[in-house]
Amino acid sequence: MLLDVREPWEFELARIEGSVPIPMSQLEGRFTELDPDSETVVICHHGNRSSYVAMALQRAGFESVLNLEGGLDAYSSVDESVRRY
């Protein structure tokens, strides 16, 4: 699962195809939408919010959680279909 924890306006600007938007501010109330047994890659703009969320998910018992280092900003340099903002 590609979990995008940016705000809705950021998700509208640019995103990785197939990612699921759940803003960090809404995550606590939406934990049930996530599968703790599924590999989860957490995405934000630069990697800070996603790092925090990845650690929180691990503490909550999620087995396979990865943070997209450098965030969507870094990813846009390898996938030109993703707009940089």
Q: Which of the residues are catalytic?
A: 44
Sequential DSSP letters for 1-17 = -EEE-S-HHHHHH---T
CA distance 56 to 53: 5
Task: Please name which of 10, 8, 1, 9 lies closest in space to residue 46, comparing C-alpha atoms.
Answer: 10
